[in-house]
């Protein structure tokens, strides 16, 4: 699986899984790793670039934009 595919899957899971979304709020890199997503430094940078505060709707929009930028 390419990193682009992994980041797309991570984004899709984030958008559709409220428990995973909460884990991402707590520690995005660890949540992704625990879920089996193999991330390189560019992917981890993308996760660090997201402001994880706000409502689920705000987060979904931010994550979608931030992570797809790296895909």
Domain residue ranges in the chain:
3-69
Q: Is the pLDDT of residue 1 over 50?
A: no
Task: Encode pLDDT of 6-55 as tens digits.
Answer: 888 888 898 899 999 899 989 999 999 999 988 888 888 888 888 887 78
Residues in the chain, total: 71
Rounded distance, CA 18 to CA 24, Å?
Answer: 10
The whole model's pTM is what?
0.75
Task: Identify the helix (H) or strand (E) that includes residue 1.
Answer: none
């Amino acid at each position: 699986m390419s990193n682009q595919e992994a980041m797309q899957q991570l984004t899709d899971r984030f958008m559709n899984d409220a428990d995973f979304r909460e884990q991402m709020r707590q520690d995005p890199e660890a949540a992704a790793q625990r879920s089996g997503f193999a991330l390189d430094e560019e992917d981890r940078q993308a996760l660090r670039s997201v402001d994880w505060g706000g409502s689920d709707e705000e987060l979904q929009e931010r994550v979608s934009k931030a992570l797809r930028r790296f895909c």
